[in-house]
Structure formats: structure tokens, C-alpha cells
Structure 1
């Protein structure tokens, strides 16, 4: 195990190094930047700022300097926000994590239960209804679902606020602040859960249908075990094994933010910050965010491989 982890860490370092060079060159060679696109600056001031931030140096020299600073925990300075990139991440990324963590938990919880029951009652009215809802959830675009629920739930029924993280002008603290945040995040979490639960339910349903046809399931039933125990203790455990590979993609999703949902609900997350950085051509922030997602992706892949081995010791790691 230790040898495998050592090899994977070296492999991850090589992958991230290559990815960082590719990403840096992609942004560095893109025409224009925040300084050249700022019409309020004089040509002399633009030249001065480019000199200060080293934007007039060759690309490879700038990359070497960026990598040196990155190893010291400095991912650059956002010219548009006038703050260090890591400081901005700390301000916004946890708001995105709050939405993603809540919606991911609900998505997996609902998908597992509905997927198991739907597979067990294959071709029943319940299974048919689930398939219709699943395909509907997968077909509708996120902005349509978000705007539709805002219209019905927030505007017409006034059950939940239409957006934001807290009420405008609110000075709530302690538990009052927590309740206010939960109240505001309920609607975007519902939308994110609807968007994610469809494909995951279909995935679990397909896996369960394959598993419950296996010989060991028939043996468990022949021994007189309760059907609930057969389904959730024997079948589900093996049906979850392929889903472990999805864990690698959940980690970057937890911190990457939802670009469209955060924009629709005016949620102050990293996704909305990332979108605004595109229009401002704030390349240091875009570079830092893209590298963060790349790091989380390779770490998530390693975690999913280790979890798969723990869940099924028959899988050998080389």
C-alpha cells in the first residue's frame, strides 16, 4: 500500500506540473488582460503596472516565478479584486462548499433509496414514475428549474427568499444568523439536488438490477433472510462499489461552486467570482482557481482508488 501511494504521489506531482504549465501558458497567451482592458489607465500607468507585476517578461520566466511563489503558498494577486488569490478563495469558497455539501448529501441519500426500491420493483408503476421524473430532471436546464422555483416558491408563495445569503441589512448573529443562512440556502440546495439526483438514481437503479440477479442474492433469500436485509446489507453493498469511482469527482465539485446556480440565486460563492473574473480578464485569479480544481481532481482520484480497495480487497493496487 505504501509503495502504491508513493508511486501515485509522484505521478500526481508530474501530472500537476504538466497541467500547471499548460494552464499558465493558456492564460498567458490569451490576448489582453485586466490592465490592457482598463480604459481608465493611461498608457504610462499601464506600462508601469505591467512592470510591477512582471507581465512584460517572457512566458516561461513568468511561469517559473509563479511556480516558485506557488510552492510558498502564494498563488498570485487578483488585479481586479486587489487581494491575494488565496485570500479571495477563503472568502468565497466556503460559501460554495456549504451549498455543495448539503446538496451532495441529499442527492446521494435520495438516489440510493429511490434507486434500490426502483430496481426491486422493476417495471412497476413506481419504477415507471421514477424513470419519468429522472429523465425530466436530466432534460431540464438548470437555469429553467432555478427561475421556475423562484417564481413559484419565492415570488408567488413567498415561502423562501429568492436569493442572497442573508437578508439585506440584516445584523443577525449566532443562531439567528445560522437560521437566516439556512433559510436562504434552501431553495438553491433544492435546485442542485433536483439536478443531481436524476442521473445518480438511474446509475444506482442499473447497478442494483444487475446485482440482485446474482447467485449470492438468491442464496441469501433461500436462507430466509428478510428482504430488506438482502437488499440493503448484501445487494446495496456491492452495488455501491462502482459508485465509489464517482467520489473522485465529488471533491472538486464540493469546492468548485455551481456557476449558474450561484448566479441565479445571487449566492456569494466561488463560482460567481470565477464568472465575473472572466469578464474582467483577471487571469491570476482564473489561473489559481483552475489549478485548485486540478489539485482537488487528482486528490479525489487517489481517494476513490483507495476507497475502492478498502471496500473490495479483491482489487489489488499496483
Structure 2
């Protein structure tokens, strides 16, 4: 294990360096920047700002300086927000994390339960209706589902707020604040679950169909075990193994936010901040956030490999 971790750590550093170079070149070579986008500045002031922020330096020198600052824990300075990028992350990313954690929990819960039932009752009426619903949810754009739920539950029925994290002017504290946040996050979580549960349910259903046809499942039934025990203790345990590889890829999404969902529901998360930065070409924030997601992806892949080996020792690292 120690040899594997050491080798993978060196491999991860190389991948991060390659990803950082690609990210930096992608944004740096894009025509225009925050200074060019500000039409209220004179040419003299623009030239002065380029000198201050180092935009007039060679690309390679700027990349080396950027990476040197990142290794020191400095992801850059947001020109539009006039604040360090890490400070903005700390203000917004936990709101996205809260939304994503709740949505991910319900997505996996419903996907596992429904996937097991549909596999057990293959080609039944329930299986057919679930598959129709899955394909319908996957084919409808997220913005349409979000706006439709706002129309029904916020405008017509008036039982849920249309957006935001708390009510305007609210001074709730303690448990009242928690209830208010939960009330506001109901609709965005529902949309995220509807969008994510479809593909994950099909994944679990397919794995369960393969597992329940194995000889050891027939042997467990022949021993007289209850069907629930056979399905959830024997079949599901082995059907979950391929799904472990997906766990690592959930890590970037937990902190990355959902750009469209946060925009529709005006949720103060990192996704909405990331989207607004595009319009003003705030490249330091965009580069810092993209690199942050790349780092999480690399770490998530390592976690997936370790978890898979832990769940199935036959798999060699």
C-alpha cells in the first residue's frame, strides 16, 4: 500500500502540473481579459493595470508565477470581486456543498432502492413505468424542470419559495435558520435528484441483473434464505462494487456546484459565481476554480481505487 500511494502521489503531481498548464493556456490565450472588458477605463489606465497584474509578461513566466503562488496556498486575486480567490471559495463553496450533499444522498438512496426492485421485478409493470420515467427525466432539460417546479410549487400553490437560500431580510437564527434553509433548498434538491437518479438507477439495475443470475445467488435461495436477505445482503453487496468507481467522481461535484440549478434558483453557490465570472472575463477566479475541480478529480480517482481494493481484496492496486 505504501509503495502504491507513493507511486500514485508522484503520478498525481504530474497530472496536476499537466492539467494546470492546460487550464492556464486555455484562459491566457483566449482573446481579451478583465481589463479589456472594462469599457470605462482609458487606454493609459488599461496599460497601467496590465503592468500591475502582470498581463504584459510572457505566458510561460506568468504560468510559473501562478503555480508558485498556488503551492503557497494563493489561488490568485479576483479582479471583478476585488478579493482573493480562496476567500470567495470559502464564502460560496460550502453553500454548493450543502446542496450537493443532500441531493447526492437522496439520488443514491432512490437509485439503489429502485434499481434493486426493478431488477428483481424485471419486465413488470413497475419496471416499465420506472424506465419510462427515467428516460423522460433524462431527456428534459434541467432549466425546464426547474422553471416548471417553480411555476407549480412557488407561483401556483405558493408552498415553496422560488429561490434564494433564505428569505429576503430574514434574521432567523439557530433552528429557525436551519428550517428556513431546508425550506428554500427543497426545489433545487428535487431537480438535482430528478436529473441524477435516472442514469444511476439504470446502472444499479444493470448490475443487479448480472448479479442475481450468478450461481451463488441460486445457492443462497436454495438454502431457504429470505428473498430480502438474498437481494440486499448478497446480491446488492456485489452489485455495489462497480459503483464504487463512481464515488470518487462525486467529490468534484460536491464542491463544484450545479451552475444551471444555482442560477435558476438564485442559490448563492460557487456555480453561480463561476458563471457570472465568464461575463466579465475574471480569469484568475476561473482558473483557480477550474484547477480546484481538477485537483478534486485526481484525489477522487485515488479514493475510488483504494475503496475498490478495500471492498474487493482480489483487486490488486
Does 2:168 correspond to 1:182? no
Aligned to 2:252: 252
Q: CA deviation at 1:227?
A: 0.6
Q: CA deviation at 1:47?
A: 1.2
Q: CA deviation at 1:168?
A: 0.6
Deviation readout 1:151-177 (Å, 9 max, x if unpaired) = 001110011000011101111111111
Aligned to 1:205: 205
Deviation readout 1:176-202 (Å, 9 max, x if unpaired) = 111111110011001100110011111
Tell me the SS of whatever aligns to 2:166: coil
Structure 2, unpaired ranges of 5+? none
Tell me the SS of whatever aligns to 1:35: helix
Does 2:245 correspond to 1:237? no
Aligned to 1:309: 309
Q: CA deviation at 1:49?
A: 1.1
Aligned length: 317
Aligned to 1:44: 44
Q: CA deviation at 1:100?
A: 0.4
Does 2:196 correspond to 1:196? yes
Equivalent residue runs for 1:28-107 within 5 Å: 28-107=28-107
Q: How many angstroms apart in 2 are the aligned matches of 1:222 and 1:271?
A: 52
Q: How many angstroms apart in 1 are the aligned matches of 2:130 and 2:37?
A: 51
Q: How many angstroms apart in 2 are the aligned matches of 1:311 and 1:87?
A: 38
Deviation readout 1:199-243 (Å, 9 max, x if unpaired) = 111110111011000000000111111110000000000000111
Tell me the SS of whatever aligns to 1:246: helix
Q: How many angstroms apart in 2 are the aligned matches of 1:137 and 1:204?
A: 17
The worse-fitting range, judged by mean Cα deviation, of 7-16 and 48-57 is 48-57
Root-mean-square deviation over aligned CA pairs: 0.6
Tell me the SS of whatever aligns to 1:315: coil
Aligned to 1:263: 263
Aligned to 2:117: 117
Q: How many angstroms apart in 2 are the aligned matches of 1:69 and 1:132?
A: 51
- Over 2 Å off, 4+ runs: none
Q: How many angstroms apart in 1 are the aligned matches of 2:40 and 2:170?
A: 35
Q: How many angstroms apart in 2 are the aligned matches of 1:219 and 1:138?
A: 37
Q: CA deviation at 1:254?
A: 0.4
Q: How many angstroms apart in 1 are the aligned matches of 2:240 and 2:137?
A: 22
Does 2:59 correspond to 1:26? no
Q: How many angstroms apart in 2 are the aligned matches of 1:26 and 1:135?
A: 35
Deviation readout 1:21-76 (Å, 9 max, x if unpaired) = 11111111111001111011111111111111111100000111111110000010
Tell me the SS of whatever aligns to 1:236: helix
When normalised by structure 2's length, the TM-score is 0.99
Q: How many angstroms apart in 2 are the aligned matches of 1:187 and 1:267?
A: 11
